[in-house]
C-alpha cells in the first residue's frame, strides 16, 4: 500500500540517499520531499541515486533553525506529511561539543517538535548502537547505556530529548556498523588501508585482538528496516503515550576484526595480523601519537596511488580518527525487530562480495585507483 507523502530529513547523507532510492524504486510514496543542507549535485551521488533524486522534491534547508524546520514541514498544498524520517546529524568526528549539541540534539528536537505539532503519523529517528556499554556481551535494547564515541553521547541525548516531547509518534533505530556502496566511514577506511598495504607490499597489522567485536549491518537492511518499522508503528495503531519502540539493527554474523581481515586478505592478497598486548597497551596510553603515526603511514601512499591513477578528486581517505582506534567492542543483538515486527534481514552476513561492491562502485566513478 502506497503511503501518501513522506518527508526525509538529511536525505543526501549515506543512509539517507539509500533510503530515498529505496522509496523511489519501490514506489512506496506518492509524494517524497527530501531536505538537506547539502545539495545533491555536490554530494558524489551514484548514477542510480541521481536518477532517484530527480523523481523527488528537494529542498535545501538548515534544520538547526526552527523557522527553517517549519518551512520544510509545509507542503505546497497546505496538507501534512504522513511519515517523517530523520537521518540528519553531524557525522564528523573530533568536533567541539557545541557542534554536536547543535547539529544532533537541537536539530533532532526541532524536527521532532514540529512533527508532534503537526500530528505526523510516525517520526523515525536514526541513532546508533555505539551508545551501549562496550564491556558487556551482545547489547539488547535494554542493555546498559554508556556511549563510547562523542557522536553516540549526543545521539543518546537526542533520544532522551525526543522522549520528552508530548504527542510525538516516535520510533528509534540503533544500527551497528553500517556499510555499503557510497559509504565513506565504517568499513570503507579499512578497505582503503588494505589497498595501501597492497601497494606497499607490507603486512597490515591492527591494534587489539582478532576477536574484537565490530558487528555490522548492510545499508540495504538499514533502509528496509527504517521503512518497515515506520509502517509497523502506524499499522499496529501505536500512540504517542505508548512506550517508544527502540530497535537495534545488526546482521547475524557477529562480525569481529578477524572476519573483516579475512576478507581484506582475499581481496588484496595481503597478509594481516595484530600488534599484540604490549604494543596495544602502549597505544592505549599514547593513542593521540599512535593515531598520528597511523595516519601518516597511510595518507601519503594513498595520495600517491590517486596521483598515479590520474584521479584528481576523490571523497575517499584512509584517515582514522582517534575515537575509531579505541579498544571498544561493538556487539549488538539485532533480533528484537524480527521478533516484534516480522522484519527479516536480507544480508545476514558480511561477505567478500559485498565489500568488493563498494570498491567497484568507487572504481566506476573514478574515485578508486586501479590495481598496481
Percent of the chain with pLDDT over 90: 78
DSSP structure class, residue 99: H
- pLDDT tens digits, one per residue of 238-249: 998 899 999 999
Q: Which CATH superfamily is domain 3-180+216-251+332-347 in?
A: NAD(P)-binding Rossmann-like Domain (3.40.50.720)
- pLDDT tens digits, one per residue of 66-101: 988 999 998 878 888 999 999 999 988 888 899 999
Distance from C-alpha of 258 to C-alpha of 209, rounded to nearest angstrom: 8
Q: For residue 163, is pLDDT > 70?
A: yes
> For the ranges 31-40, 203-212, 233-242, which has the lowest average pLDDT?
203-212
- Count the Cβ atoms, other than its own, within 10 Å of residue 27: 9
- What is the average pLDDT value for the chain, to the nearest integer? 92
DSSP H or E segment with residue 108: helix 107-117
Q: For residue 37, is pLDDT > 70?
A: yes
**Beta-carbon-side half-sphere exposure of residue 311 (alpha carbons within 13 Å):** 21
- Three-state DSSP state, 123: strand
Distance from C-alpha of 289 to C-alpha of 169, rounded to nearest angstrom: 46
Name the CA dihedral angle for 320, 153, 44, 307, rounded to a multiple of 10 degrees. -10
What mean pLDDT is predicted for residues 156-168? 96
- What's residue 371's pLDDT? 78
- What's residue 206's pLDDT? 79
> For the ranges 39-43, 134-138, 347-351, which has the lowest average pLDDT?
134-138
What mean pLDDT is predicted for residues 51-72? 93
- What's residue 285's pLDDT? 61
**Beta-carbon-side half-sphere exposure of residue 104 (alpha carbons within 13 Å):** 25
Distance from C-alpha of 88 to C-alpha of 86, rounded to nearest angstrom: 6
What mean pLDDT is predicted for residues 33-57? 95
- What's residue 174's pLDDT? 98
Distance from C-alpha of 108 to C-alpha of 9, rounded to nearest angstrom: 10
- pLDDT tens digits, one per residue of 268-282: 999 998 876 656 666
Distance from C-alpha of 175 to C-alpha of 137, rounded to nearest angstrom: 16
156 or 328, greater pLDDT: 156
Domain ranges of the chain: 3-180+216-251+332-347, 188-213+254-330+353-364
Quote the pTM value: 0.94
Distance from C-alpha of 128 to C-alpha of 102, rounded to nearest angstrom: 18
- pLDDT tens digits, one per residue of 322-336: 777 666 788 999 999
Task: Give the model's confidence band at 134: pLDDT under 50 very low, under 70 low, under 90 confident, else very high.
Answer: confident
Distance from C-alpha of 84 to C-alpha of 62, rounded to nearest angstrom: 16
- What's residue 288's pLDDT? 75
- What's residue 147's pLDDT? 93
- pLDDT tens digits, one per residue of 218-233: 999 999 999 999 999 9
Distance from C-alpha of 46 to C-alpha of 362, rounded to nearest angstrom: 9
Cell 600517491 locates to: 304
Distance from C-alpha of 87 to C-alpha of 325, rounded to nearest angstrom: 25
- What's residue 328's pLDDT? 76
- What's residue 209's pLDDT? 76
**Beta-carbon-side half-sphere exposure of residue 264 (alpha carbons within 13 Å):** 26
- What's residue 357's pLDDT? 97
Q: For residue 283, is pLDDT > 80?
A: no
Amino acid at each position: 500500500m502506497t503511503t501518501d507523502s513522506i518527508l526525509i530529513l538529511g536525505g543526501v547523507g549515506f543512509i539517507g540517499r539509500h533510503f530515498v532510492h529505496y522509496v523511489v524504486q519501490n514506489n512506496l510514496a506518492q509524494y517524497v520531499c527530501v531536505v538537506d543542507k547539502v545539495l545533491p549535485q555536490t554530494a558524489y551521488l551514484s548514477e542510480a541515486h541521481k536518477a532517484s533524486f530527480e523523481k523527488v522534491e528537494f529542498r535545501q534547508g538548515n534544520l538547526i533553525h526552527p523557522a527553517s524546520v517549519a518551512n520544510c514541514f509545509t507542503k505546497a498544498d497546505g496538507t501534512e506529511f504522513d511519515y517523517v524520517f530523520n537521518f540528519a546529524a553531524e557525522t564528523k568526528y573530533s568536533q567541539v561539543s557545541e557542534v554536536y549539541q547543535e547539529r544532533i540534539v537541537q536539530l533532532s528536537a526541532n524536527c521532532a517538535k514540529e512533527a508532534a505539532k503537526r500530528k505526523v503519523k510516525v517520526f523515525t529517528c536514526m541513532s546508533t548502537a555505539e551508545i551501549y556499554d562496550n564491556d558487556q556481551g551482545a547489547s539488547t535494547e535494554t542493555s546498559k547505556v554508556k556511549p563510547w564515541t562523542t557522536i553516540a553521547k549526543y545521539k543518546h541525548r537526542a533520544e532522551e530529548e525526543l522522549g520528552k516531547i508530548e504527542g510525538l509518534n516516535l520510533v528509534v533505530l540503533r544500527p551497528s556498523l553500517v556499510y555499503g556502496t557510497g559509504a565513506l566511514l565504517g568499513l570503507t577506511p579499512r578497505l582503503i588501508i588494505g589497498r595501501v598495504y597492497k601497494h606497499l607490499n607490507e603486512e597490515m597489522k591492527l591494534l587489539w585482538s582478532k576477536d574484537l567485536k565490530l558487528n555490522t549491518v548492510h545499508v540495504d537492511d538499514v533502509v528496509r528496516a527504517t521503512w518497515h518499522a515506520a509502517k509497523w508503528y502506524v499499522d499496529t495503531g501505536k500512540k504517542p503515550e505508548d512506550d517508544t519502540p527502540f530497535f537495534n539493527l545488526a546482521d547475524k554474523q557477529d562480525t569481529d576484526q578477524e572476519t573483516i581481515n579475512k576478507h581484506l586478505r582475499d581481496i588484496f592478497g595481503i597478509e594481516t595480523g595484530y600488534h599484540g598486548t604490549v604494543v596495544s597497551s602502549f597505544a592505549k596510553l599514547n593513542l593521540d601519537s599512535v593515531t598520528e603515526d597511523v595516519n601518516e603511514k597511510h595518507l601519503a601512499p594513498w595520495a600517491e596511488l590517486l596521483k598515479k591513477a590520474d584521479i584528481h578528486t576523490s571523497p575517499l581517505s584512509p584517515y582514522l580518527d582517534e575515537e575509531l582506534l579505541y579498544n571498544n567492542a561493538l556487539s549488538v543483538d539485532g533480533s528484537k525487530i524480527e521478533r516484534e515486527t516480522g522484519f527479516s534481514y536480507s544480508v545476514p552476513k558480511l561477505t567478500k562480495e559485498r565489500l568488493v561492491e563498494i570498491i567497484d562502485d568507487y572504481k566506476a566513478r573514478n574515485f578508486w585507483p586501479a590495481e598496481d
